[in-house]
Amino acid sequence: MKRLIAISLLACMTVFFAGCADSSQPAAETKGQVSIESSADADESSEEESSKQEESSEEESSKEESSKVEESSEVESSEEESSKEESSEPESSVEERSAPESSAAPESSVEESSEQQQQTPELQTAMGSYGEDDLVFVYNNGQIRLLEKISDALAVLGNASKVESVASCLTIDSPDDKIYYYNGFKVQTLTDSEGEKIYQIEITSNNAATAKGITIGSSTADIENAYGLQNAVAHDEFGYTYSTGGSTALDFFINNGKVENIIYQYYPNS
């Protein structure tokens, strides 16, 4: 009986130990798998960290290079500025030495005064002027005036190419007026108690001109520049009249914008 019990116990122990051996093998295998997986994860994480470190190091190196480039550009610009300042300083010093210390006028005022000097003659020419002297007709370096005696004027004018008699401008009972013809102009006279006197000088061609150079064919702008539009007592597209008052005037007759006739005129009945 005891022997049977011992055999049965031995058999149970054998079965127990066999079961334990079988159960221990899967645990070992799972442990091996866990360790392999954890090592793989560790390898992956280490690779990621190394790649991140490499990227960060590359970024830092690029930043350092860009900062170096910026620093070099700043250094170059500062060098250029300093060279410009150095080059400008001698010029200013030379200018200061060359410029007189007394009566040194600013450049702006000098430019303004030069512009005014340039504009002033043009303005004066455009304004023009008119006075009693503009009623003088210049010929052969002599002067002929209205109401001058013809005997005195002929000493300057010389012999006329033709002399013509016309009805008097004074009264029907007065002696005839006379017209003396010359090259480019004609002179008309009247006779009163003092004798034969000039009362009209008419320029008929560009062989004669006024004392200011206006002749047949001159433009209206030429007239205004010489005598001034503001000085005309009357003007329109057909003519300009200049007078200082009284009975004398200088008339310009216009045709298509050009001077057609010029008459120095005395109006005896005005």
- Could you give the percent of the chain with pLDDT greater than 90? 46
DSSP string for 28-74 = HHHHHHHHHHHHHHHHHHHHHHHHHHHHHHHHHHHHHHHHHHHHHHH
Rounded Cα distance, 207 and 185, in Å: 8
Can you tell me the mean pLDDT for 224-230?
Answer: 96
Contacts of 137 (CB under 8 A, 6+ apart): 143, 144, 145, 185, 201, 210, 211, 264
Q: How far is CA 194 from CA 135, 155, 234, 266, in A?
A: 21, 19, 32, 16
Rounded Cα distance, 148 and 144, in Å: 7
pTM above 0.85? no
Residue 232, helix vs strand vs coil: strand
**Across all residues in the chain, what is the average pLDDT?**
74
Q: Give the number of other CB atoms < 10 A from CB of residue 97.
A: 8
- What the block records as the tokens of 16 is 């127990």
CATH topology of domain 132-266: Pathogenesis-related Protein p14a (3.40.33)
In terms of phi and psi (left: phi > 0; alpha: psi -120 to 50; beta: otherwise), the region of 228 is left
The pLDDT value given to residue 269 = 73
Alpha helices in 104-234 (DSSP H): 107-127, 150-157, 220-227
Give the tens place of pLDDT for each residue, 42-83: 455 555 555 556 565 565 655 555 555 455 555 455 555 555
Residue 91, helix vs strand vs coil: helix
Give the tens place of pLDDT for each residue, 113-144: 444 444 433 444 446 999 999 999 999 889 99
In terms of phi and psi (left: phi > 0; alpha: psi -120 to 50; beta: otherwise), the region of 15 is alpha
- What the block records as the tokens of 267 is 């109006």
Ordered by start, the domain boundaries in the chain are: 1-91, 132-266
Rounded Cα distance, 205 and 185, in Å: 7
The pLDDT value given to residue 246 = 84
Q: Which residue has the higher pLDDT, 143 or 103?
A: 143
Rounded Cα distance, 201 and 266, in Å: 9
Residue 177, helix vs strand vs coil: strand
Q: Which residue has the higher pLDDT, 216 or 97?
A: 216
Q: Which of 194, 152, 147 is nearest to 174 (CA)?
A: 194
DSSP 135: G
